[in-house]
Structure 1
Amino acid sequence: MTPESLADLSARAYTHMQPWSAQAFADTLARPHALLTVTEHAFVLGLVVAGEAEVLALAADPDHLRKGHAARTLACFHQDAEKRGASRVFLEVASQNAPARALYAAAGYTPAGLRKGYYPQPGAPADDALVLTRILP
């Protein structure tokens, strides 16, 4: 996927927050530790550094929701990160994003911390970020 197609998919999927721009994707993909895992209807973008992976963005095509695409892509990301030497994955998720929280819980993520007021919301108080972690495999 190109930075533009990643930005397009994230713009359609991220109804709860500001989507990433094509430039933000390009900048992240240019980093030496970037890891992009893509399946037919979803992607996970992250970093793998010093034995740890971090999920920066996950998006699934809203026209294909509830078909397991996000879960399969996340599982593939775990495998790809492990191949690069990661033994643990971290991510942040908005506390009010119940579908994403359920996805991560089903994938074996557990709470590791809280970042208060992390996600800005237009016309409302910022949402907290839950920091989650999972041991690989």
Structure 2
Amino acid sequence: MTWKLRAATVSDLSHIMQIENSVFATDAWSESAMRSELESAHTHYVVATALGAPDIVQGYGGMLAPQLATEADIQTLAVAPDVRRMGLGRVLMHAMLRTARAEGVREVFLEVRADNDGAQALYRSLGFESIGVRPGYYQPDDVDAIVMKLELTRQGPAVGVS
């Protein structure tokens, strides 16, 4: 499947929140928190739409990367349940990593649920390494977070996105 990626805007908020609430049922971000993320000058959010359906958001990702910072943090990544396991999470991650490189970032960090083996496998396949654990980070489920880090090189793998 082919997706079109574009910068997320506040006008995407309702679509993002639909995915957020369906994917992260017990620990979804609030609409006001997500709005703040989309409006911040320090974040880079991207949405994916199906080619030919520009109003239907099928996934999104966000990264905190303040200007001139050498570190970035993947804030969130989610794919609509009906298009999971089709490579969209990887496409979104590649887009955020390209942005990080363009911004001069050298290290990218993220937290992932200890019980989310699929996401951990994706991040490891992109070169992220586990560097620590945050006990009970995800509430109310009391699930640990695995902290991961990627050292960026000047160039990364090419990803064809239309």
Matches of 2:16 and 2:105 in 1, distance apart? Answer: 24
- Report the counterpart of residue 48 of structure 1 in structure 2: 65
Runs of 4+ in 1 over 4 A off after TM superposition: none
The letter of the residue matching 2:43 is A
Q: Is the 8 A contact 1:3 1:23 kept in 2?
A: no
Q: Is the 8 A contact 1:6 1:22 kept in 2?
A: no
The normalised TM-score by structure 2 is 0.76
Match among 21, 26, 49 for residue 11 of structure 1: 21
Q: Which residue of 1 aligns with 2:33?
A: 24
What CA distance in whole angstroms lies between the structure 2 residues aligned with 1:21 and 1:7?
Answer: 8
> Are the aligned partners of 2:71 and 2:108 in contact in 1 as well (CA < 8 Å)?
yes
What's 1:128 paired with?
Answer: 144
Separation in structure 1 between the aligned mates of residue 71 and residue 36 of structure 2, nearest angstrom:
20
Gaps of 5+ in 2: 1-7, 50-57, 154-162
Alignment gaps of 5+ in structure 1: none
Question: Cα RMSD over matched residues?
Answer: 1.5
1:61 maps to 2:69: no
- TM-score when scaled to structure 1? 0.89
Contact in 2 for aligned 1:37/1:80 (Cα 8 Å):
no
Looking at structure 2, the residues matched to 58 and 24 of structure 1 have their Cα atoms a distance apart, in angstroms, of 15
Aligned pair count reads 133
2:76 counterpart letter in structure 1: A
Q: Contact 2:27/2:138 (CA < 8 Å) preserved in 1?
A: no
